[in-house]
Structure 1
Amino acid sequence: MTDWELIQQYREGTTNALGELFDRHQGQLYRLAQRMLGNADEAEDAVSEIWMRVMKHIPQYRHDAQFSTWLYRLAINYLIDTSRKRVRDSLLYINSEMRIPSSEDPDLHCEKRFQSALVHHALGQLSPAQRMLIIMRDLENMPLKEMASALDIPLSAVKSRLRRARQAFKRIASQDQRIPGQEAVGTARLTYQGFLQ
């Protein structure tokens, strides 16, 4: 059953259709929120708030764009507004509950975790709009056309803004960084090229 069919069922009174829509999209929303906010608890709260907005605004959804695009637009607006209100250091959360898989070398695990911390630290220094562009394209692999639709801007604007966001990220990431909570390690910088396409 398509998203649109579920929406129609919900509008006709089948309340569990909205639950099925949520189950279908909550993973993507959570990943987006955690990458944008950098904190698992805040990401869960954000997903709940975004979904409450979906329930409020779903009567206005007209099927002129895919539901996932419409949902992304709601999520992006909420997450950018939320990010603007937060203290910068709260963006730099590193999941302390992360466990080392038994098959992975502990040194390699620590290196990956530190690289992840460097990426999050650099992302946290971007404006919320730039951070969102990089998350959508380089972490979520969202097609440019879908980004343009979700952001409600022309494709050419997405490309130029993404280019500027990547340049800002690379400029920040190439400088020596001191990661909050890991000061004993000293300073480091991102040296690998695989993150940005």
Structure 2
Amino acid sequence: MTTNEDQYYINLIIEGHTNAFSTLVDRYKDLVFSLALRMVKNKEEAEEVAQDTFVKVFKSLRQFKGDSKFSTWIYKVTYNTCLDRLKKHKREQHIESIDEFNLNQIKNMDNALDDMEAEERKQAIQDCIKLLPSDDAFLLTLFYFEEESLEEIAKVVNLTENNVKVKLFRIRKKLATILKERLEPEIIQHYGS
């Protein structure tokens, strides 16, 4: 669905055709749930966050000005809803320590992952992303899986594009640390040399 199609349904909803909202929900429900799950790390809570997100989006649809894509706006509502949920439950996030990596080690990790079967690589990365702090998992998901631009991500999380770049670099280092700990040493040795 393009931005114009989103705007078409938004206009219908604002004009009183509330049943058109189901089209937007169908379009974004999987993405909202995935982002919520990355942050709250619990399926039931992610479902509640997704539901809360769509209620908030519906109630504040008139406030959407079209300054950014509708998807960016809904990601932002999802992000803020997740933050509210996490603050409410005062959850402690599992944070992995960051070892210093030199560029050669990061390159070896990249080479090892490149040589793994695509499905295994995807599953390994997904499992390791779950171990990242919520904000980090959210940013990685937007950038790598949803292929959002730095500009769009910056709008979602209220940061500058440069701050997003720096955060993504640091998150990649964290992810490399987690992957290094999780992958069997012989796999790294075999593929990294």
The answer to whether the superposition gives a TM-score over 0.5 is yes
For residues 81 and 141 of structure 1, what CA distance do their matches in structure 2 show? 25
TM-score when scaled to structure 2?
A: 0.67
| 1:68 equivalent in alignment to 2:74 | no
Please identify which structure carries the higher helix content. Answer: 2
Which of 171, 179, 183 is equivalent to 1:173? 179
Instruction: Provide structure 1 residue ranges, at least 5 long, that are not aligned to the other structure.
Output: 90-110, 178-186, 193-197
Where do 1:34-183 residues align within 5 Å? 34-83=37-86, 85=89, 86=91, 112=120, 116=123, 119-120=125-126, 122-175=128-181, 177=182
- Which amino acid in structure 2 is aligned with residue 2 of structure 1? E
Instruction: Provide structure 2 residue ranges, at least 5 long, that are not aligned to the other structure.
Output: 95-118, 189-193
1:131 to 1:62, Cα distance in 2 relative to 1, 3 A? same
Which of 28, 51, 65 is equivalent to 1:25? 28
TM-score when scaled to structure 1?
A: 0.66
For residues 24 and 44 of structure 2, what CA distance do their matches in structure 1 show? 22
Q: Assess if the C-alpha contact under 8 Å between 2:129 and 2:137 holds in 1.
A: yes
Equivalenced residues, count: 161
1:141 counterpart SS class: coil
* Aligned-pair CA distance for 1:138: 2.2
- Which amino acid in structure 2 is aligned with residue 56 of structure 1? K
Could you tell me the percent identity over the aligned residues? Answer: 28
For residues 35 and 130 of structure 2, what CA distance do their matches in structure 1 show? 14
* Aligned-pair CA distance for 1:83: 4.5
- Which amino acid in structure 2 is aligned with residue 70 of structure 1? W
For residues 44 and 56 of structure 1, what CA distance do their matches in structure 2 show? 18
Q: Assess if the C-alpha contact under 8 Å between 2:6 and 2:24 holds in 1.
A: yes
For residues 150 and 77 of structure 1, what CA distance do their matches in structure 2 show? 9
Higher relative contact order, structure no. (Cα contacts within 8 Å, ≥ 6 residues apart): 2
Residue 14 of structure 2 is matched in structure 1 by 11
